[in-house]
Amino acid sequence: MTVLRSEALRSLKPWAEYVWTGRDWSGLKWLDTVQKKPTEEEVDAEVIRLKALWDADDYKRKRAREYPSLVDQLDDIYHNGIDAWKATIKATKDKYPKS
């Protein structure tokens, strides 16, 4: 995932009023009279922080895609018991361990 500067700006200054045209820093026109405009360096540092958070949760997204639906999990428990269900879930957790 690419974290955009606009996402970082929203993270740093929620509800701030601004207009951003184009892609470079000179296109940012700060309209907010309550919050101070962050520096380009602050926004770039926030991009790096948000990207690290996204990357740290990659295992969660991979697991979520592979887990059976909740309906299928409940059906598995009903027909095969908790231990069989745990084995199914553990296989996915083992395939995508926490970082």
d(CA 13, CA 70): 37
pLDDT at 67: 97
Residues 82-95 pLDDT 10s: 999 999 999 999 99
pLDDT at 24: 85
d(CA 78, CA 73): 9
pLDDT at 99 over 90: no
Residues 32-85 pLDDT 10s: 999 999 999 999 999 999 999 999 999 999 999 999 999 999 999 999 999 999
pLDDT at 2: 61
